[in-house]
Amino acid sequence: MTKLHDTSAPVMPGQWLGMLGGGQLGRMFCHAAQQMGYRVAVLDPDPASPAGAVADWHIQQPYDETDALDALAQRCLAITTEFENVPAQSLAWLEERVVVRPNASAVAVVQDRIREKAFFVEAGVPVAPYAEIIHERDLDQAPVDLFPGILKAARFGYDGKGQVRVQSVAEAHAAWHELGGVACVLEALMPLKQEVSVVLARDHRDHIACYPATANEHRDGILAVSTSDALEPSSPLASQARDAAAAIARQLDYVGVMCVEFFILEDNRLVANEVAPRPHNSGHYTMDGCLCSQFEQQVRMVAGMPVGPTGNTHSTIMLNILGDIWFQDGADEPREPAWDQVLAIPEARLHLYGKTQVRHGRKMGHVNIVADNLAQARLAASNVAGILGIAWHDHA
């Protein structure tokens, strides 16, 4: 068994860091780590994974393959994860041999919506009214004020998948079968004014730094647009969101970068929606709009380095790029978007994820629009969206 690295000592550049997961978030982690002088080993079964393509070492094995986990632990002094559905058991196995941030117990909580909702309540963070649906018969006992609502599978849901809107108990029964008859959460639909999120970093000494909240617009359950400077930092809502996110991180004993998504209701109450135990789409703007990106923060946290600065240097709008834009005007075969026109806009910063297969709904990249003020950013974002065929709604 590998000797556990001294958790009080930082992992210095030149050493190896490990990553479970090979998607675009892992790819951007690799770029940030390599820029700082680290070498990165990625464990992911996909031979064409975006992170594996740029990692210093790609272990092409399943996440629960013991020999692969052992190889990762033998080489790396500290390991992190790219997405929440990595088996918590694999993280627990690694924790006995090497520093793992975030820890397995924290990831296990947010992998399960039932545990996550209960955890929010224990941490004193407001949530929408909900009921646990373990068996189908629980739907008949659900409070009437949970309808209309959303039935969400407790595990493996993301980007709007694994959830169904329901107007009645009868519809909830049908939705339960549609979701596979698994444990669920039934959550009341609330009158929403705005969706916001807070990305934060917490180090192993309990230093916490929050990035300013972003305003988020989802389409078909997938984040489409994030706008920095969403809330005035000194406003009560911004303060409440930061405090709630910090309380969740401390209660989980979470070390790393995480995102907490919130709903602002029509009466200006703030309720927590869910936690992402990793960098988040809504934090992609930090790559160009902050001194320290969320991915550099992730490197800092797993390596035991100090928390980086989190203030905005510019007003930034992030546009998510889905595979749909390769099929504009009803094209049967994918056609390369007009990147030259996008990059002719001075405020545009293009980030593509190196995915070789284009599909409708697949996240292929994002564009950050960076400007001195929000009005300028909105104008440039409108122009970029027009070139790429992305729907744009100016909420200024």
> What's the pLDDT at 119?
92
Strand partners, 208: 202
Q: Are residues 236 and 206 in the same domain?
A: yes
Segment 181-202, tens digit of pLDDT: 999 999 999 999 999 999 999 9
Q: List phi, psi (to 5°) of 138.
A: -65, -25
Mean pLDDT of 2-11: 70
> What's the pLDDT at 153?
93
> What's the pLDDT at 3?
47
Task: Among 81, 100, 119, give the residue marking a domain's end.
Answer: 100
Answer yes or no: is pLDDT of 4 > 70. no
d(CA 349, CA 318): 9
Taking a C-beta distance cutoff of 8 angstroms, is the pair 81, 102 a contact?
Answer: yes
d(CA 228, CA 231): 8
What radius of gyration do the chain's Cα atoms show? 21
Q: Are residues 184 and 214 in the same domain?
A: no
Answer yes or no: is pLDDT of 158 > 90. no
Is residue 84 situated within a structural domain?
A: yes
Confidence band of 2 (pLDDT split at 50, 70, 90)? very low
Taking a C-beta distance cutoff of 8 angstroms, is the pair 358, 364 a contact?
Answer: yes
Is residue 82 situated within a structural domain?
A: yes
Side chain identity at 207, as an amino acid letter? H
- What residues make up the domain containing 155? 129-188
Q: Are residues 170 and 235 in the same domain?
A: no
Answer yes or no: is pLDDT of 345 > 80. yes
- Sign of the dihedral through C-alpha 325, 331, 334, 340: negative
At 151 the three-state DSSP class reads strand
> What's the pLDDT at 340?
98
Is residue 341 situated within a structural domain?
A: yes
Confidence band of 1 (pLDDT split at 50, 70, 90)? very low
Is residue 89 situated within a structural domain?
A: yes
Q: What is the DSSP letter of 290?
A: B
d(CA 230, CA 248): 21
For residue 259, which of 269, 249, 268, 267 has the smallest C-alpha distance? 249
What are the strands of the beta sheet with 149-153, ordered from one edge? 130-133, 184-188, 149-153, 163-166
Q: Are residues 283 and 166 in the same domain?
A: no
Say which residues have a Cβ less than 8 Å from residue 217's Cβ, sequence separation at least 6.
195, 223, 224, 225, 226, 393
Q: Can you give the pTM of this predicted structure?
A: 0.94
> What's the pLDDT at 162?
85
Say which residues have a Cβ less than 8 Å from residue 353's Cβ, sequence separation at least 6.
23, 24, 27, 50, 363, 364, 365
Number of domains in the chain: 3
Q: Are residues 309 and 367 in the same domain?
A: yes
Q: Are residues 145 and 177 in the same domain?
A: yes
How high does pLDDT run on average in the chain?
93
Say which residues have a Cβ less than 8 Å from residue 170's Cβ, sequence separation at least 6.
none
> What's the pLDDT at 288?
98
Is residue 207 situated within a structural domain?
A: yes
Q: Are residues 215 and 279 in the same domain?
A: yes
Q: Are residues 272 and 375 in the same domain?
A: yes
Cβ neighbourhood burial of 362 (10 Å; 0-12, 13-18, 19+): middle
Q: Are residues 181 and 219 in the same domain?
A: no
Q: Are residues 200 and 175 in the same domain?
A: no
d(CA 60, CA 139): 42
For the chain, counts of helices (H) and of strands (E) = 12, 18
d(CA 135, CA 292): 46
User: And the tokens for 361?
Assistant: 């709904």
Which CATH number do you get for residue 151?
Answer: 3.30.1490.20
Q: Are residues 177 and 200 in the same domain?
A: no
Task: Among 188, 205, 230, give the residue marking a domain's end.
Answer: 188
d(CA 46, CA 27): 13
Q: Are residues 143 and 159 in the same domain?
A: yes
d(CA 247, CA 104): 18
Which CATH number do you get for residue 49?
Answer: 3.40.50.20
d(CA 288, CA 255): 24
Percent of the chain with pLDDT over 70: 97
Side chain identity at 389, as an amino acid letter? G
Is residue 107 situated within a structural domain?
A: no
Strand partners, 41: 18, 57
Is residue 394 situated within a structural domain?
A: no
Task: Among 59, 79, 100, give the residue marking a domain's end.
Answer: 100
> What's the pLDDT at 331?
79
Is residue 114 situated within a structural domain?
A: no
